[in-house]
Structure 1
Amino acid sequence: MFPTLLIVDDEQPILHSLEGLLSDEGFNVLTAPNGYECLKTIDAEHPDLVLLDIWMPGLDGIETLREIKKSHPGIPVIMISGHGTIDTAVTATKYGAFSFIEKPISIDKVIVAINNALNFRKLEEENIFLRTRMIAKNAIDGSSGPILALKQQIIAAAPTEAGILITGENGTGKELAARTIHQFSTHSESPLITVNCAAIPEALFESELFGHEKGAFEGATAKHIGRFELADGGTLFFNEIGDMNLANQGKLLQVIEEKRFCRLGGSRVLDVNVRIVAATNKDLRQEIEAGRFREDLYFRLNGVPLHMPPLRERLEDLPLLVERFTQSWCKSAESQPKSFTPEALETLANHDWPGNVRELKNLVERLLITVNKETIDLSDLPMPYRTPDVQVPADGLDELAGISDFKEAKAAFEREYIKRRLAECGNDVSATAKSLGVSKSHITKLIKP
Structure 2
Amino acid sequence: MNESDSLNTNLNKEKILIVDDDPSLLRLLAIRLNAVNYHVESAQSAKQALGILKSFQPQLVISDLRMEGMDGMALFEKIRQQYPSLPVIIMTAHGTIPDAINATKQGVFSFLTKPFESQELLDIVKQAIRLQPRSNQDNPDSNDALWREKIISRSAVMETLLQQTQQVAKSDFSLLINSQSGTGKELLAQAIHQASERRDKPFTAINCAAIPEQLLESELFGHKKGAFTGAANHHVGLFEASDGGTLFLDEIGDMPMNFQVKLLRALQEKEIRPVGSTSSVKVDVRIISATHQNLQKAIKEQRFREDLYYRLNVVELILPPLSERREDIPLLAQHFLSLTAGRTSIQVNGFSQDAMELLISAPWPGNIRQLQNVVEQSVALSTEPVINESLVRNALRDAPTQHPSFQEARDQFERDYLASILKTTSGNVSKAAKIAQRNRTEFYKLLNKHHLNAESFRDG
* TM-score when normalising by structure 2: 0.54
- From 334, 338, 342, the counterpart of 1:327: 338
1: CA distance, partners of 2:187 / 2:396: 25
2:368 pairs with 1:338 = no
Equivalent residue pairs, number: 265
Deviations 1:407-438 (A, max 9, x none): xxxxxxxxxxxxxxxxxxxxxxxxxxxxxxxx
Name the SS for the 1:214 alignment partner: coil
Name the SS for the 1:305 alignment partner: strand
What residue number does 1:352 align with?
363
- From 222, 228, 232, the counterpart of 1:217: 228
2:297 pairs with 1:286 = yes
2:244 pairs with 1:247 = no
One-letter amino acid of the counterpart of residue 308, structure 2? L
What residue number does 1:138 align with?
150
Name the SS for the 1:148 alignment partner: helix
2: CA distance, partners of 1:176 / 1:288: 27
Shift of 1:285: 0.6
Shift of 1:334: 8.6
What residue number does 1:444 align with?
none
- From 247, 269, 274, the counterpart of 1:263: 274
Q: Aligned pair in 2 of structure 1 residues 154, 384: CA closer, same or farther (>3 Å)? A: same
2: CA distance, partners of 1:134 / 1:327: 21
Name the SS for the 2:276 alignment partner: coil
One-letter amino acid of the counterpart of residue 251, structure 1? K
2: CA distance, partners of 1:167 / 1:362: 23
Shift of 1:347: 1.5
One-letter amino acid of the counterpart of residue 368, structure 1? V
Deviations 1:58-103 (A, max 9, x none): xxxxxxxxxxxxxxxxxxxxxxxxxxxxxxxxxxxxxxxxxxxxxx
Aligned 8 A contact 2:183 2:321 in 1: yes
Note the residue ranges of structure 2 that are not aligned, 5 or more in a row.
6-136, 398-460
Shift of 1:196: 0.9
One-letter amino acid of the counterpart of residue 349, structure 2? K
Name the SS for the 1:256 alignment partner: helix
Deviations 1:271-299 (A, max 9, x none): 10001000001010110011100111111
What residue number does 1:170 align with?
181
One-letter amino acid of the counterpart of residue 262, structure 2? K
Q: Aligned pair in 2 of structure 1 residues 362, 197: CA closer, same or farther (>3 Å)? A: same
What residue number does 1:201 align with?
212
2: CA distance, partners of 1:226 / 1:130: 32
2:237 pairs with 1:238 = no
2: CA distance, partners of 1:330 / 1:258: 49
Shift of 1:268: 2.8
CA RMSD of aligned residues (A): 2.8
One-letter amino acid of the counterpart of residue 347, structure 1? L
Aligned 8 A contact 1:138 1:179 in 2: no
Aligned 8 A contact 1:338 1:368 in 2: no
2: CA distance, partners of 1:267 / 1:296: 26
2: CA distance, partners of 1:183 / 1:132: 10
Q: Aligned pair in 2 of structure 1 residues 171, 158: CA closer, same or farther (>3 Å)? A: same
2: CA distance, partners of 1:317 / 1:330: 20
Aligned 8 A contact 1:347 1:385 in 2: no
One-letter amino acid of the counterpart of residue 280, structure 2? V
2: CA distance, partners of 1:138 / 1:334: 27
One-letter amino acid of the counterpart of residue 209, structure 2? A
Deviations 1:24-57 (A, max 9, x none): xxxxxxxxxxxxxxxx9x99xxxxxxxxxxxxxx
One-letter amino acid of the counterpart of residue 253, structure 1? L
* TM-score when normalising by structure 1: 0.55
After the TM superposition, which of the residue ranges 258-267 and 183-192 deviates more from structure 2? 258-267
One-letter amino acid of the counterpart of residue 219, structure 1? G
What residue number does 2:323 align with?
312
Note the residue ranges of structure 1 that are not aligned, 5 or more in a row.
1-39, 44-124, 387-449
After the TM superposition, which of the residue ranges 130-139 and 328-337 deviates more from structure 2? 130-139
Aligned 8 A contact 2:377 2:395 in 1: no
Shift of 1:214: 0.9
2: CA distance, partners of 1:130 / 1:220: 44
2:187 pairs with 1:181 = no
2: CA distance, partners of 1:333 / 1:137: 26
